[in-house]
Structures are given as structure tokens and as C-alpha cells.
Amino acid sequence: MASTRKVKPQVVLMRRQKQLEDEQPLATVEIVERATAGVKGLAVADALRIWKALGSYVSAQLARGKAVKLEHLGLFALNASSEPIFLHNAVFLQTNRLRERTRHGSPGSLQAIGTAQCGSFSSVNMSEIGSRFLPNYSKEIVAAVIANVVAHVGNLAKQGRVLRLGFLPIGEWTCDGDVAGFKFLAEFYAQIKLQRTIRTVKMGVSDNGDVESPQESLSHNYEKEHQDLPRPRSSKAAGTARVCGAVSEDDRLSVKIRVVCFEKPSEYSELFTNPFHAIQPLAENFNR
């Protein structure tokens, strides 16, 4: 009769503890600390500072309407509706046995990226990160930290670990088992939409993408909207712009500007000199 080998209770407990640890999500601090442990002479605080600067850099690039490619991980860009999106590098997904998480209303292919960005993808500029956000760090150190973190999350993802890697102030990269995705913060959505609105007010962009003068833009918007808006009852009311904001089902902000009426050229000069003044009430609502 074959004897059955008993497993010691301590071994069972250790295995269970290891299983529970693997199921707990690893957050940014622990991921960055583990990934950069081999970088000589680099403190954890410095590594975290560099990683935070990467998020600030990507945020600034998207705010300027530019797509940014993070080597071996994916692409940050704006879609045709000027919403921020993230697309994984196909090799990263295949190598680490991952699938792209798709969200309702989120595009999942390069075709969804705005036509203005076609051909304008650029990799993360390590020198610019150093000069703008980290003047005391060399571009080599910045590049080493970013490369190590990306490689480390790939290895952890391949093991089926649950990961939460922050890209503040943009959002968070997540990995749950075999599915990876990026969740943008609602505040960042609002920021991108607001900045696009400001650019539209300053430049005067028509529906077909042509750039109009301020006078043409005001006339175009007024002719398009005047039937839906009440006529001003006084000359004081005539010199105002109405800004309407609405939040869609997926918590992404949709902003629309409607010009009520301008009877004299002088009445709209301030709007285009200082467009943020007209949109200030909407910005205040974002912070509530």
C-alpha cells in the first residue's frame, strides 16, 4: 500500500500567504522601487520623482495636442473627438500574454486617432523631461528608470500579477490577470476639453476644420444657434458668451460654446484677448 505524504501545516500556510500576496495589487511605489533596485546610486525617492515627471511630461504633450510613444509599452494620444486614449504596443501585449482592455466608447485602434496627429508620433524625450521637470538628473538616469519600470511591469504582468501603476496627473495603468488597460482621470478629461475650448475660442475654428477670424467665427456660431437661444433684452446682455458643459454617461466632459450676440466689434474684443475669462465659471465647476 502506497504511503501518502503529509504536507506540513507551515508549508500550507506559507503557500496560502504567497497566493494572497500575488492576488493583492502592486501599486506605483512598490513597482518603481522593485524595478529600480539595480540602478546604482539611485534612491527610491529619486526614482519616484523621475516617474512622476514622466506623467507631467505626457500630460503637457497631450495638452498641446501631441501624441507620445512610451517605448515598449504604448502610445498616448487624442482621438478624433479630442479625448485622451492609450493604445498598447502590440509586442508588449503578445510577449506578456495580455489582452487590451476596451471600454465603452473607447477606440481600440490607431484609426481612431485624430487626423491632425497622423505622422506626428514622437517617443518620450528624456532630455526634455530632465530640463523641464528634473534639472538635477541626467537624461541617462531618466531613461534608465523609465525603461526598468516598463520592463518590470511586463515581467509582473506575465506572472498574472494585479498591477496599478500611476501616471499622475493623467491616470493609471492597470493589469488584472491577462487584461491590461489605462484609466484616465476625470479631471484630466476635463482639462483637455477645456483647453481645446480655449483654443477654439482664440482661433475660431469652423465645423469643417477651417480657421476663421474672430468676426467670422462669431457670425457663424450665431447664425447656427440663434434660433435655439433667447434674444438678449438689453445691450449689456448682448455682450456676453454662454458656456454650457454637460457630463456624458462615461463621465467624460463635453464642452460647447454658444455665442449669444455681439452688436459691436468692441464687445467681443475682450473675449478673444482673454478667452479664459469667459470660461472661468465652467472651470470653477470642475473643482466642486
Check if the beta carbon of residue 107 is closer than 8 Å to that of residue 79.
Answer: yes
In tens, the pLDDT along 47-84 reads 999 999 999 999 999 998 899 999 999 999 998 888 99
Q: Quick count: other Cβ atoms within 10 Å of Cβ 51?
A: 23
CA–CA distances in Å: residue 241 to residues 2, 102, 280? 87, 38, 12
- DSSP state at residue 167: E
pLDDT at 22: 57
Which residues lie closer than 8 Å to 93 by C-beta, 6 or more apart? 99, 100, 180
- The residue behind cell 487624442 is 78
pLDDT at 239: 38
Check if the beta carbon of residue 85 is closer than 8 Å to that of residue 113.
Answer: yes
d(C-alpha 81, C-alpha 84), whole Å? 9
pLDDT at 193: 87
d(C-alpha 190, C-alpha 282), whole Å? 10
d(C-alpha 240, C-alpha 221), whole Å? 13
- The residue behind cell 477654439 is 200
Per-10-residue mean pLDDT of the chain, 288 residues long, equals: 60 60 84 95 96 97 93 93 92 94 52 46 91 91 97 96 96 94 94 83 58 45 46 41 36 36 38 37 37
d(C-alpha 214, C-alpha 160), whole Å? 55
Cβ contacts of 166-172, under 8 Å, gap ≥ 24: 166/27, 166/28, 166/55, 167/54, 167/55, 167/58, 168/52, 168/55, 168/56, 169/55, 169/56, 169/59, 170/55, 170/58, 170/59, 170/62, 170/76, 170/84
C-alpha cell at 173: 495603468
d(C-alpha 148, C-alpha 72), whole Å? 11
d(C-alpha 80, C-alpha 116), whole Å? 8
pLDDT at 3: 53
d(C-alpha 42, C-alpha 256), whole Å? 47
Q: What is the DSSP pairing of strand 74-78 with strand 179-184?
A: unpaired
Radius of gyration of the chain (CA): 25
Nearest C-alpha neighbor of 175 from the set 106, 68, 93: 93
> Which amino acid is residue 103, in one-letter code?
R
CA–CA distances in Å: residue 205 to residues 123, 208, 209? 29, 8, 6
C-alpha cell at 56: 507631467
Q: Which helix (H) or strand (E) holds 179?
A: strand 179-184
Which residues lie closer than 8 Å to 6 by C-beta, 6 or more apart? none
pLDDT at 18: 59
